Amino acid sequence: MRRDFTLVELVVVIAIIAILAAIVTPNAFRAIEKSKCARAIQEAKTIKTAALSYYADTGTWPPRYRLTTPLNPFLTDPGVAGWDGPYVEKWNAHPWTGHIGWDPTIDLDDSGVVDGCVVFDDDRPGTSASNNQGRIPRRSMIKIDEMIDDGDLATGYVQGDGEGLHAAAGELVIMVVHDGAP
C-alpha cells in the first residue's frame, strides 16, 4: 500500500527546517564577521613586523603608502640604503575588500610625536580613490577596538568610523608604532 505524506506532516517538517535555519544563519554570519576581524588584526600585526624589519635594516620607517601612492615600500626598494626586502610576501586588501595603507605621519594619540599606523581604507584597490566600496561595518570596528584597545573608536590605539582625530567614516586606523619608537 502506497502511503503519501499528509499536508500536516509536510508543514511540520518545513517548520522544523525553518526554525533550524533561523538558529544557524545568524551564528554563521557572526562567525564570518569574527573571522574577518581576526584577519584584520593579523594583517596589522604583519605590517607592524614588516615595518620593524624595514626600520632595523634602514634606520628609517617605511614611507607613507596609501591607495594613491605608486610605490609600496614594503614590496619594492624605494632607493633607501640598507633596504633588504621585500618585507611582506604580498599586500592584501582588508577583509571588507578595501585598501590597507601604512602611514608613519599620523599623531594618533595627539602626543606631538607621530605614530606608525595601519590604515584600513574604505576604498578598494584597483579603483578610483574615494569610492567607499570597502567600508568596514561599525560593529566590526568596535569588535576590533575591543580586542586590541579600549572599545571606544574615538580614543586609544584604534580609532575609526569618523571618530577620533584621524579616521574617516568607514575607515579604521590602528597604531602599531607609538611615538616613533621601534
Dump pLDDT digits (tens) for 69-83: 889 999 999 999 999
For residue 84, being part of any structural domain is answered with no
Model pLDDT, residue 130: 65
For residue 113, being part of any structural domain is answered with yes
Q: What cell numbers appear for 124 in the block?
A: 578598494
For residue 138, being part of any structural domain is answered with yes
Cβ–Cβ < 8 Å for 144, 96 = no
For residue 1, being part of any structural domain is answered with no
For residue 47, being part of any structural domain is answered with yes
Higher-scoring residue by pLDDT: 136, 129: 136
For residue 86, being part of any structural domain is answered with no
In the chain, the number of structural domains is 1
For residue 85, being part of any structural domain is answered with no
Which domain range does residue 14 map to?
A: 7-79+93-177
Mean pLDDT of the chain: 89
- Tell me the pLDDT tens digit for each residue of 84-102: 999 999 998 999 999 999 9
